[in-house]
Amino acid sequence: GCEQRIPRIIHHIWIGGKLPGKFQSLRDEWILLHPAQEGWKHYLWDDESIAQEFSSNPMDSAGSYASASNYGEKSDILRLEVLNRFGGVYVDVDFKCIRSFHDILETGVAFFAGLSNVGHIEVNNGLIGSAPQHPLLKRCLEKLHSSTSMPSDRLLCALSSGNETICKTGPGYFTRMMISAWKEKLHKPHGVDDLEWIVLPVRYFYSLPNNHGDFEKNWQTIDLKTDYHADVHAIHLWAHSWESNSSTQNEVNVENQQEMIWLANLVTRNGWLKPIDSTTHK
């Protein structure tokens, strides 16, 4: 079963060669703000460490990982696998750490992610905290095999066009999984996902919109700023390191306005967002 607490582990992934210096410097900041003397561990999942860990104890989604068409898809799958196996906080390599995640973990929450800043409702998979074997991770992993063909359930397919990887395994897929969990929570308040999990407002991890500028500009701008809102824990710099000639803007086809408007209303609440019981959903 799922352990209730998120362990103090930071995971980064870089598949295909050595981690570039600009991303290593960002990773060094994560290590500095989450030191070993406070119980933190840091894992860099590269080609070598992936082979060492999973050669003798394969991934649950080994088939999907092997057939993934690019590093972006492989990374999307791998982050779910390592969180399911070890727990911790997965972070894309293009996040700048602003402050320690100690306070978030100390709340006792078993799973968290953040609303993104892309011009529509998206729960991004670029930064995820989870206890090992959390039901939401299992939900994502179990449905991966069917995500290669876009889901027939139009209600949950908020992203109908745009980058294929985003829809198949990335933020589009992750958003659909979160919405399906919310919907299930409404009908079964004490069901399989009855563990504390939250989606945090945009400001926690995604202060910059994805069309703000290129990575180098974002990096230079962020380094000059020090007066961050107290809620800001990390900032995504949108390097798009695995993409090639793909737009960062995605058209949105919302097939069920009521569901998405309800989710948008949750976004406007102050503080932390939680799945709510049917008794409080009007």
Q: Is the pLDDT of residue 163 over 80?
A: no
Query: What percentage of residues in the chain have a pLDDT greater than 70?
Result: 65
Q: Which residue type sits at 224?
A: L
Q: Is the pLDDT of residue 280 over 80?
A: no
All structural domains of the chain with their residue ranges: 9-271
| Tens digits of residue pLDDT in 229-248 | 788 999 988 776 544 433 33
pLDDT at residue 116, as a whole number: 84
Phi, psi of 231 (to 5 degrees): -80, -15
pLDDT at residue 239, as a whole number: 75
Identify any residues that bridge with 42 across adjacent strands, giving them in sequence order.
Answer: 10
Confirm if 94 and 26 have CB atoms less than 8 A apart: yes
Tell me the three state secondary structure of residue 248: coil
DSSP character string of 166-196: HHHTSHHHHHHHHHHHHHHHHH-TTSTT-S-
- How far, in Å, CA of 15 to CA of 44, rounded? 10
pLDDT at residue 111, as a whole number: 93
More confident residue, 237 or 28: 28
Query: What's the chain's length in residues?
Result: 282
Say which CATH architecture domain 9-271 belongs to.
Alpha-Beta Complex (3.90)
Tell me the three state secondary structure of residue 223: helix
Identify any residues that bridge with 124 across adjacent strands, giving them in sequence order.
Answer: 114
Mean pLDDT of the chain: 75
- How far, in Å, CA of 34 to CA of 43, rounded? 12
- How far, in Å, CA of 272 to CA of 129, rounded? 14
pLDDT at residue 271, as a whole number: 38
pTM, two decimals, is: 0.77
The label of the residue with tokens 């959903």 reads 281
Identify any residues that bridge with 128 across adjacent strands, giving them in sequence order.
Answer: 90
Q: Is the pLDDT of residue 20 over 70?
A: yes
Give the N- to C-terminal CA distance of the chain in Å, as an integer: 32
- How far, in Å, CA of 89 to CA of 262, rounded? 28
Q: Is the pLDDT of residue 129 over 90?
A: yes
Q: Is the pLDDT of residue 84 over 90?
A: yes
- How far, in Å, CA of 254 to CA of 121, rounded? 10
